[in-house]
Amino acid sequence: MVSVVEKVLSKIGLNSNWPLLRKFETLIFAAMLALLPFFALKVVNVTTTSLAVKNTTVDLVKDLRRARQFAKEHGVRISVVSRQENKMEAGAYLIEDDFRTIEEIVLPRGVAVTGMVKFDPHGIPLQPASFLITKASKQNKVIVDANGIISAP
């Protein structure tokens, strides 16, 4: 009795090449299996990039709110200033008053923050500001409006 597969193969002329077809199928399967780790690495890379940018954004918003509150409570001018990564130092942002650096927050490798805001002694920014957080092609923005409202749209 002839199976359906054998009938189809005989119609397209592959009846005698069945072992060759099985070898080709095995080769395709092995190639897909060999390429699987590359796709997994890409997924991990995209995920870690997104998480690094998101976590840095959340931390920056918390630190901006803390700096604004510190300016209110102590009646001093407080600045939050970004510092770009160079060969000697990792990227960071600094919380400073007029005389000294209060805190330096070091960023994860590859994450860059660009921006600056200065709060007056009442916790109001001297002018609206924005911070841009980037890593590779992923980016987020933190906005400080004229009233001191801090948001990350």
Domain membership flag for residue 98:
yes
For residue range 76-121, list pLDDT tens digits in order. 999 999 999 988 889 999 999 989 999 999 999 999 999 999 999 9
Total number of domains in the chain: 1
Q: Give me the pLDDT at residue 19, please.
A: 75
Domain membership flag for residue 59:
yes
Average pLDDT over residues 113-130: 96
Q: Give me the pLDDT at residue 21, please.
A: 72
Parent domain of 116: 42-151
Domain membership flag for residue 58:
yes
CATH number assigned to the domain comprising residue 139:
3.55.40.10
Q: Give me the pLDDT at residue 123, please.
A: 93
Q: What is the 3-state secondary structure (H, E, C) of the chain?
A: CCCHHHHHHHHCCCHHHHHHHHHHHHHHHHHHHHHHHHHHHHHHHHHHHHHHHHHHHHHHHHHHHHHHHHHHHHCCCEEEEEECCCCCCCCEEEEECCCCEEEEEECCCCCEEECEEEECCCCCECCCEEEEEEECCEEEEEEECCCCCEECC
Per-residue pLDDT band for 48 (boundaries 50, 70, 90) equals very high
Domain membership flag for residue 7:
no
